[in-house]
Amino acid sequence: MDLQQVKNDLEQRLPKARYEHVLRVTDTAKKLAEEVGVSVEKAEIAGLFHDYAKFMDKDELLELLKRDEEYELYAQYHAELWHAPVGAMLAKERYGVEDHDILQAIRFHTTGRAEMSELEKVIYIADLIEPGRKFPGIEELRQRIDGEPLEDQMTECIQHTFKFLVQRYAVIFPHSFDCYNEHVRRRK
């Protein structure tokens, strides 16, 4: 795959700030992958595509989502979640990404899920902690997880997301719940 072509496409599709987020997530994911022994090449591809569908309009996302096996589930939840499965679909259809792990990492970067692979966790974490993220408590979160086992980093990150969602009275997506429960159960 010609990654420069993917970047050019992303630059056209996304506002500047979002494109720069994508590059920082990719960079953060590659570093984390290297640290924990995950394929840096796969992390790069998943990082680049993770928000590919982020700025498509709601109707267009919903139309594409109709072909997804979990369409009925996603359609009942917040539209903000739809760009993740649609991003995976478009990476596959437009760029021939066939690697299941890369596609799952794109698909679950927003919600997580139970039984995430190491690559999926790398992308989830990188998306949350990339250096441009400014939310309250982020610096403390970065310090707390730095150098820890990937599984423990994921536990801290999914807990962080839950605190954020609950504070905003957000409806929690079932895969997010499964991810949270699994990590909290395993926590030492």
- Per CB under 5 A, residues contacting Fe ion are 51, 127
Q: 6: buried, middle or exposed (CB in 10 Å: 19+, 13-18, 0-12)?
A: buried
Token pair for 8: 């050019």
153 near ligand DGI, rule: CB under 6 A = no
Q: What is the DSSP letter of 172?
A: P
CB of 186 to ligand DGI, least distance (A): 20
Q: How many residues bind ligand DGI (CB under 6 A)?
A: 17
CB of 159 to ligand DGI, least distance (A): 13
Out of 44, 51, 120, 182, the only residue in the binding site for ligand DGI (CB under 6 A) is 51
Token pair for 111: 């919600």
176 near ligand DGI, rule: CB under 6 A = yes
CA pair distance 54, 148, nearest whole angstrom: 30
Q: Which residue has the tokens 């990082």?
A: 47
26 near ligand DGI, rule: CB under 6 A = no
Q: What are phi and psi of 120, to 5 degrees?
A: -60, -40
> Which residues are near ligand DGI by CB under 6 A?
51, 54, 78, 80-81, 84, 109-111, 127, 161, 165, 170-173, 176
